[in-house]
Amino acid sequence: MTSAALGAHIQGASAWVPLPDGRRLHAMVRPGTRPDGPTVVFEAGAGAGRSSWALVQPAVAPHARAVAYDRSGLGRSAPDPAGRTLTRMADDLGALLDHFGPGPFVLVGHSAGGPLVRLAAARGPGRVVGLVLVDPTDEAADVLFSSRFRRMERVALAVGRTLAALGLLRPLFRGQLALLPEDARRDMAREGFTSEVLRTQRRQARTYLDELAAWRDAPPDTGDIPVTVISGGLPGDGMDRALRAAANTSHAHRADRAPAGRHVVAAKSGHYVPLTEPELVVREILALLPG
């Protein structure tokens, strides 16, 4: 299956998910063919929204209800005045699962979204029946907690903030935008490179690595939930060879720790596997759907 074959349209039914504090999360929902069937929920990376799944979500929809959403401060979801801790973001995801419940759910998380779906799964045993972690951030990668990595993150966020304010951030991602279907490309171009997105990323980054570091001693317990971890096979996309090797080692460790773990390498991809090898992501999601 080629990327072109997968790239229909992200457009489904636009939905608003109410949260206990009055905020609402924007989601795009594509119904499955079975009213009582499983639901696949997509969690994007640090600064990304629903449109980053535009090549995967439509191909999953014939087999299960598929929900891609925008975290607070990203896409069409308003900012969260209370902060953006990992715990707070997982709370929001849990509320979204309640809204679309009762399940069963397969949760799919890319990059920084990987820990979020792991935490949500640990909090909701029974309703989550599978996890697909796509080139996830993982606490087993020691490099994430080095002073060098934290310094690189601060610099990247500061540069991104300046470029967003000048309207120069979007051109840096033209290659990724070109891979998307027209409607998703339009939405991401309009929503994905704003100063608000960079503010949200900075707010997330304030505590994210510290919270993740605590998981090294006490990770979320996902029990016997099957876990598939997909690694990018190539350096690039902001990851040099050393960082890529460290990430893939941590991914193999995560799969090995799961009772039904599976580690898959996307040989043609760097970090943005949902855009460069969407068919592989779809295949691994479908393999975890309950019959």
Domains and CATH numbers, the chain: 3-288 (3.40.50.1820)
How do residues 136-183 score in pLDDT, each as one tens digit? 999 999 999 999 999 999 999 999 999 999 999 999 999 999 999 999
Q: How confident is the model at residue 11 (pLDDT cuts 50, 70, 90)?
A: low
How do residues 272-285 score in pLDDT, each as one tens digit? 999 999 999 999 99
How many C-beta atoms lie closer than 10 Å to residue 232's C-beta? 25
Cα 204 to Cα 87, 112, 254, 255: the distances in Å are: 11, 10, 23, 26
Asked if 261 and 121 touch (Cβ cutoff 8 Å), the reply is no
For residue 234, what are the contacts with CB-CB under 8 A and spacing of at least 6?
244, 267, 268, 269, 270
- The overall average pLDDT reported for the chain is 94
Please state the pTM of the whole predicted model: 0.94
Distance (Å, whole) CA 252 – CA 257: 9
Distance (Å, whole) CA 128 – CA 107: 7
Beta strand residue intervals within the chain, DSSP E? 13-18, 24-30, 39-43, 65-69, 105-110, 128-134, 227-232, 261-266
How do residues 251-274 score in pLDDT, each as one tens digit? 999 999 998 999 999 999 999 999
Backbone angles phi, psi at 35, to 5 degrees: -55, -35
Asked if 134 and 112 touch (Cβ cutoff 8 Å), the reply is no
How do residues 102-117 score in pLDDT, each as one tens digit? 999 999 999 999 999 9
Q: At residue 62, does pLDDT exceed 60?
A: yes
